[in-house]
Structure 1
């Protein structure tokens, strides 16, 4: 069965995930290192991991697998999940698959190197209504595709 994992600490689309998951009766694991409010639902599980770098990422990477969907902005976590066969979607609706993850990792590393060299880089763009709409559409499409694939 498909499960949705949310890397929840800074995820702006949790409510959207809950709505789509309810439509398809899919379980959701909301993973964070602090208490996050979640709706009362037997299909939504709150996972609180110990505080520390990558604790939530490690939990998700250890539990996600083929047929699952992971929502994250964390590129290294996305890479680990893709390697395990999970589908990954960022909150702006970008599907990070085996083809896209290599470029995303390279861009992340380049930006890290530039910042460490003192180059001023722009931050990410603000999250917009268009991003939210794109995410909802992409999540719905991805779930339909994943469910067809695992049948």
Structure 2
């Protein structure tokens, strides 16, 4: 019984240290480049008014770059926030500007490849159900960072 208790304590300690380590690396990684690959030529992407309009709303707060993707497989569009606020400040305010940059990159990719911003289908039922609430929560969450 003592081994079982010791194993449980060790498991909780490992999980907690992993969460702290992940949180620490997220704080230090605030200015990393966010990149998407677009199926188009670099000149076409850089000269497209939809690309410049999408990032114009950010002004000088966001830096962008356009380069050929490795292996001649389209174009890499990269963006990053020039000076991201501290992670704790962003959490307190309830908003992280990198989420807007991620969403804009996805929208630009969709616009340049298909001509429209693709969204998920609306719910098929008008009745709010617990399962539907869960799906809506996951859909909203995935729209930000792209992971659940």
**Common fold, TM-score beyond 0.5?**
no
Q: Point out the structure with max Rg over C-alpha.
A: 2
Name the structure where helix makes up a greater proportion of residues.
2
